[in-house]
Structure 1
Amino acid sequence: STFVLIIDEINRANLSRVLGELMYLLEYRDQQVRLAVSGDSFSIPANVRLIGTMNTADRSIALVDHALRRRFAFVRLQPEWGIVERFFAAHELAGVDLTKLKEIVERLNGEIEPDYRVGITFFLRDRLGEQLESIWRLEIEPYLEEYFFDRPDRVDAFRWANIRDKVLSG
């Protein structure tokens, strides 16, 4: 069996303090290592996986230090619209033209640096047709206002009033 430990937003913590000697053990998987503090022998078994998620857009938190970085593989995940399509199909959602919504979000994301792009979780809602306006106006637009603070024309292009008729159906 494989065991997985998931640490969400791993870069929010001082990992050297949180993981302590486990940092060293990550490099020597499945080998007994004598711990410096206690003197005990310890190992991380080969069947244990550690996954950490990071929000790289959050600049208020520390970058991952090099000692930790070399002990992990980094995989950048992009919005996967197939998940939204399957969600729509499974929940028989009405009122939203998913194709048009995807086109608009992808056009928007084309103007945003990769670490700041609008993701798909906004659109994984059971009553999206009823909620899309408030999601867009109260969550996405303020985000865009902050991102494009010096380019209000870019925000205006993606305001709810300018996309509503394209994304709502029926």
Structure 2
Amino acid sequence: MVDNSDHFRPVKWLATNLNIPVEMVYEKKFSQQSIYGMYKEQVKKEFFQKSQKSIPDNYVLIIDEINRGNVSQIFGELITLLEEDKRIDAEDGMPLTVTLPYSKKTFSVPKNLFIVGTMNTADRSVEALDTALRRRFSFQEMTPNYDLNELNYEVIPGVSANELLKTINSRIEKLLDKDHLIGHSFFMNRSGGSPLNNVVDAFYRNIIPLLQEYFFGDYGKIGLILGQGFVKLMEAENETIFAKFDYDIETRDVYEIIDHRGNHNTFKVAIKQLMNRN
């Protein structure tokens, strides 16, 4: 048996499929041989050094909740340097370099730097977003992705995670708008534990508190989204709780969130009611 491992070496390719004349790489011409002896003194090192510089790595700077900061104070005059035609090595551009006020060092932005800013469209601070920032960024809406493989599991028999999320979001959009839709990350089972435990945790740690914030404690609307398996109308209190006084009063309904943590059987029933499958 022949061990082929002696005939191969790992290669880190800097570039492939390039149509380059041999004279630019090597001092001698190649003939139709199977194997060539490459002598380092005849390799044109300047070509490889130049080629390596021409294939730079890309770098990504992510600024989370970018709309919450004062953009004019954070970037200052440097925001102009973010424009494509103002960057170093920009083709057909006008590269700019500025002197930093404190260090007095020159500063410029390379073209291989990509800046990603995240924000929540339901956040009211988006409305006051700096106009200069709007002009220099392209806005990409990230809607819930119901087709993710991580959502392709059953919460209860017959109800998948993506179907459950889609149902909740369709009701939120009817009562509010699409900017308040719940993201798919809440239903992604990242912990590797039981999918049902993950969904129960997501309901009581994320989804229900978020709905309470959305509807300012209007549990009637929360009930329209989650159903009577999660929201219960409390029994009317006896009117004797008030002090004796001659006044006609119209009391409001009082609701309660039903806590199914610790009881998966009742939670499964509540999910069926949410999906109108009871």
For Structure 1 versus Structure 2, the TM-score category normalised by the shorter chain is: 0.7 to 0.9
Structure showing greater Rg: 2
* Higher mean C-alpha deviation, range 106-115 or range 7-16: 106-115
Alignment RMSD, CA only? Answer: 2.9
Correspondences of 1:85-104 after superposition (within 5 Å): 86-88=149-151, 93-96=153-156, 97-98=159-160, 100-104=163-167
Higher relative contact order (CA 8 A, sep 6+): 1
* 8 Å contact kept, 2:146–2:166: no
Q: Give the deviation of 1:33 after TM superposition.
A: 2.2
2:128 aligned with 1:63: yes
The 2-side partners of 1:130 and 1:65 are apart by 42
Matched, 1:129 2:209: no
- Rounded Cα–Cα distance in structure 2 between residues aligned with 1:158 and 1:137: 15
Deviation at 1:167, TM superposition (A): 7.1
Q: Which residue of 1 aligns with 2:272?
A: 165
Partner of 1:5: 61
Paired residue type of 1:13: G
TM-score (norm 2): 0.50
Q: Could you tell me how far apart the structure 1 residues matched to 2:72 and 2:124 are?
A: 19
Mapped to 1, the partners of 2:205 and 2:107 lie a distance apart of 50
- Pairing of 1:12-161 with structure 2 (within 5 A): 12-27=68-83, 28-30=86-88, 31-35=95-99, 37=101, 40-59=105-124, 63-83=128-148, 86-88=149-151, 93-96=153-156, 97-98=159-160, 100-111=163-174, 112-125=176-189, 126=192, 127-149=194-216, 152-159=219-226, 161=229
| Matched residue, 2:239 | none
Deviation at 1:72, TM superposition (A): 0.8
Give unmatched runs, 5+ long, in structure 2: 1-56, 89-94, 231-269
The unaligned stretches of length 5 or more in structure 1 are none
Q: Percent identity?
A: 32
Write the letter of the residue equivalent to 1:110. Answer: E
Q: TM-score, normalised by structure 1?
A: 0.77
Distance 1:41 1:142, change over 3 A: closer
Please identify which structure carries the higher helix content.
1
Q: Deviations over 1:37-57 (max 9, x none)?
A: 366543211111111111122
Q: Find the aligned partners of 2:169 and 2:123 in 1 and give their Cα distance.
A: 21
Q: Distance in 2 between matches of 1:76 and 1:120?
A: 14
